[in-house]
Amino acid sequence: MENYFSSDFRLGVLGGGQLGRMLLTETQKYDIFTVILDGDQHAPCAEICNEFHQGSLMDYQTVYDFGKTVDVLTIEIEHVNIDALKKLEEEGLKIYPQPNVLEIIQHKGRQKDFFRNHNIPTADYTRHASAKQLGDMTEFPFVWKSAQFGYDGTGVKVIRSAEDLQGLPDVDSITEDMIPFKNELAVIVARNEKGEIKTYPVVEMEFHPTANQVEYVLCPARIDNAVAEKARDIALHVSDALGIVGLLAVEMFQTKDDEILVNEVAPRTHNSGHYSIEASYTSQFEQHLRSILNMPLGNTDNKVAGIMVNLVGEEGYSGDVVYEGMDDILHISGVTPHIYGKKHTRPFRKMGHVTIVNQDLDEARRVAEMVKKTIRVVAK
């Protein structure tokens, strides 16, 4: 293994948001010098990384020049300039996840084709090069997804009638069958250069009963072992088919018939793995670092059960953020807030998350509900 610790080694990260910030906790723990590129000079990582570069992640020259300053390059967001990465890879730079994997995943059409070509179970879909082609769709409902740049539910719409097609942007897109699912599950797979592989336990996204919004991520998922095993096997299959080095988060539907269909994947640390910071032997951020640097992978088991609640900006508030109710939630045992370092809130912006851990998942679930009711992300 290379000498990464307190050495001249330089790790580069494309993207300086909250995922980068939580990765920095680990690079600081290992004292690995970390250089970050982000378009926003006030990005969550800007002040606390070893070296910060401001510039566009989609600009060829910016990404190429940045890559030339580091020894290994990784990402915390998949929307980056792939041509620059391919050139850097050709020139010998280690880039994990690999550019060809990013290229597949950053485009939902290519991602779905990849699933189909590798017998990875997924909902039926059609690709559309432009909005005009959507006029051919006559059976409703279905799900429309922008092929690129969708993030946290943006670029996704349920289409229930021909009227709903109006106003969709004229972009490359896919449409998918709506899956009536019992559960939405996710599995994170880690794989290093040597080919060592570990999967985290299956997590469950619990939705608000009416608002159709994920409220809680629970680990372990409250599903039976056979389903959990199937989900882990499928996630492993996806990671293996991609040959990815690094973390892969696989989001899946558990259908009414206990079929598992892959919804989409992300080639990085993921919101569904944030619970791992407090609950797991090895947090997903440490695991990402271990996998891209070809270190041995850590134990993915839980020490205790974990639940994550996202902190998103409340509707109707924009401006300098204030977290209301923090005092009340800090009174409760096993509650840890993570504040991402964004000074300004706006409706639905991801501002932080709260992890709740407990020996007993049901007790953690009760506490999570209390936390969710108590804390508010508003503006001054």
Residues contributing to the annotated binding site for ATP: 108, 145, 176-179, 184, 263-264
Q: Is residue 239 packed enough to be buried (19+ CB in 10 Å), middle (13-18) or exposed (0-12)?
A: buried
261 vs 307 by CB, closer to a copy of itself: 307
Residue numbers 49-78 binding a copy of itself by CB under 8 A: 49-50
Stretch that binds a copy of itself, among 87-95, 183-191, 290-298, 363-371 (CB under 8 A): 290-298
Stretch that binds a copy of itself, among 96-104, 112-120, 216-224, 295-303 (CB under 8 A): 295-303
Least separation in angstroms between residue 360's CB and a copy of itself is 13
The angle, 0 to 180 degrees and rounded to 10, between the axes of the packed helices 60-67 and 82-90 is: 30
Least separation in angstroms between residue 157's CB and a copy of itself is 32
Least separation in angstroms between residue 59's CB and a copy of itself is 27
Element (H, E) at 337: strand 335-339
91 vs 324 by CB, closer to a copy of itself: 324
114 vs 285 by CB, closer to a copy of itself: 285
Which tokens belong to 31? 């004292």
Stretch that binds a copy of itself, among 208-216, 220-228, 265-273, 337-345 (CB under 8 A): 337-345
Q: How is residue 309 annotated by DSSP?
A: E
**Cβ atoms of 352 and 319 closer than 8 Å:** no
Residue 3 binding a copy of itself, by CB under 8 A: yes
**Cβ atoms of 198 and 287 closer than 8 Å:** yes
The footprint of a copy of itself on this chain (CB under 8 A) covers a number of residues equal to: 44
Binding-site residues sit at 108, 145, 176-179, 184, 263-264
- The C-alpha atoms of residue 115 and residue 117 are separated, in whole angstroms, by 6
Q: How is residue 295 annotated by DSSP?
A: P
Least separation in angstroms between residue 342's CB and a copy of itself is 7
For 238, phi then psi, to 5°, come to: -65, -45
Q: Which of 118, 160, 343, 373 binds a copy of itself (CB under 8 A)?
A: 343
- The C-alpha atoms of residue 359 and residue 2 are separated, in whole angstroms, by 38
Least separation in angstroms between residue 338's CB and a copy of itself is 6
3-state secondary structure of 70: coil
Q: Which of 166, 210, 212, 333 binds a copy of itself (CB under 8 A)?
A: 333
Least separation in angstroms between residue 298's CB and a copy of itself is 7
Q: Which of 243, 296, 319, 347 binds a copy of itself (CB under 8 A)?
A: 296
Q: Which residues contact 212 (CB under 8 A, 6 or more apart)?
A: none
Q: Is residue 225 packed enough to be buried (19+ CB in 10 Å), middle (13-18) or exposed (0-12)?
A: exposed
With b meaning 16 or more CB within 10 Å and e meaning fewer, what string describes 30-56?
A: bebbbbbbbeeeebbbbebbeebbeee
Least separation in angstroms between residue 151's CB and a copy of itself is 21
- The C-alpha atoms of residue 367 and residue 218 are separated, in whole angstroms, by 12
Residue 327 binding a copy of itself, by CB under 8 A: yes
Least separation in angstroms between residue 185's CB and a copy of itself is 25
**Cβ atoms of 81 and 63 closer than 8 Å:** yes
3 vs 225 by CB, closer to a copy of itself: 3
Q: What type of residue sits at position 217?
A: V
158 vs 322 by CB, closer to a copy of itself: 322
Residue 220 binding a copy of itself, by CB under 8 A: no
Tokens 């946290």 locate to 152
- The C-alpha atoms of residue 201 and residue 134 are separated, in whole angstroms, by 38
Residue 178 binding a copy of itself, by CB under 8 A: no
Q: Which residues contact 66 (CB under 8 A, 6 or more apart)?
A: 12, 14, 35, 37, 53, 55
Q: Which residues bind a copy of itself (CB under 8 A)?
A: 1, 3, 5-7, 21, 24-25, 28-31, 47-50, 281, 286, 290, 295-296, 298-299, 303-304, 320-323, 326-327, 330-331, 333-334, 336-343, 357
